[in-house]
Amino acid sequence: MATAQRIPVLMYHRVGEPDHPGDIYCIRPEDFDAHMTALARANWHSVCIEDFDAWRRGEKLLPENSFVLTFDDGFAGVHDFAAPTLKNLGWPATVFLVAGKLGGQSDWEVTTGEPMRPHTLMNAAQLRSLSAQGFSLHSHSLMHRDLTTLEAPTLEQDLCDSRTRIAEIAGCAPSYIAYPYGRHSEAVRNAAQRVGFTLAFSVESGFNRPGERPYQIRRLDVFGNDTPTMLLRKVRLGTNEGSLAHLMQYYLRRILRLN
């Protein structure tokens, strides 16, 4: 069996009905199902985040075409729509939770330039149900603030409190964090390490390889308007750009390098 030399981490957000045509951070349930079906038919398979971490450290081998599936924020649609699809496939996933808003609404600042109304976030009972199915529960901070704007004591308190609240549901403190808005700095990375996070996920695109920087793990943004074919291009090329034109440019660059 061939072993993975590089692994993509997929980043989804809300699963449900988009607020408007430009709401790219929401994917309809039937489209999410089509994404997962396409990956499975192309012989891709989801691996749990803990195995990915062990692979990154050189402590575990994973098969070729492995990927990690993550959801940011903790929207209720992950429980209602994504979980049944993943259960049928037997695939694990990770949810990065806004720990101070569990069971509440996504009423934090939106920075995409498009209007998006708040949506319901999963409560403790739903999260325990996901955990029993094989989901991993980790941190997306306490209140979904831009961590780079917080003073040092507030920053550490936010990170510590997020671990405490998730531990009350998961039974143990989370080891991993995804930076809100993808924003981080040296101070944020150092604070995450001090409070006990051992791995942190960015929104920088690309593959991850063994030995990857632990506090700047790369992820691929998956949009609600990505077709299954576009998604397969993303995981194949390690890019956020899934268009056919980008694929042609990729192969042209390879041809030019060989000549």
pLDDT band at 251 (very low <50, low <70, confident <90, very high): very low
Write down the mean pLDDT value for the chain: 93
Q: Where are the domains of the chain?
A: 9-226
| Average pLDDT estimate for 154-162 | 98
Q: What is the pLDDT of residue 151?
A: 97
The predicted-structure confidence for 40-69, as pLDDT tens digits, reads as follows: 999 999 999 999 999 999 999 999 999 999
Asked if pLDDT for residue 193 goes beyond 70, the answer is yes
Asked if pLDDT for residue 145 goes beyond 90, the answer is yes
pLDDT band at 133 (very low <50, low <70, confident <90, very high): very high
The predicted-structure confidence for 84-123, as pLDDT tens digits, reads as follows: 999 999 999 999 999 999 999 999 977 656 667 899 999 9
The predicted-structure confidence for 198-225, as pLDDT tens digits, reads as follows: 999 999 999 999 999 999 999 999 999 9
pLDDT band at 245 (very low <50, low <70, confident <90, very high): low
The predicted-structure confidence for 165-192, as pLDDT tens digits, reads as follows: 999 999 999 999 999 999 999 999 999 9
Q: Please say whether the beta carbons of 20 and 115 come within 8 A.
A: yes
36-40, 89-93, 222-226, 254-258: the lowest-pLDDT one: 254-258
Fold type of domain 9-226: TIM Barrel (3.20.20)
Residue that wins the pLDDT comparison between 234 and 113: 234
Q: What is the pLDDT of residue 250?
A: 46
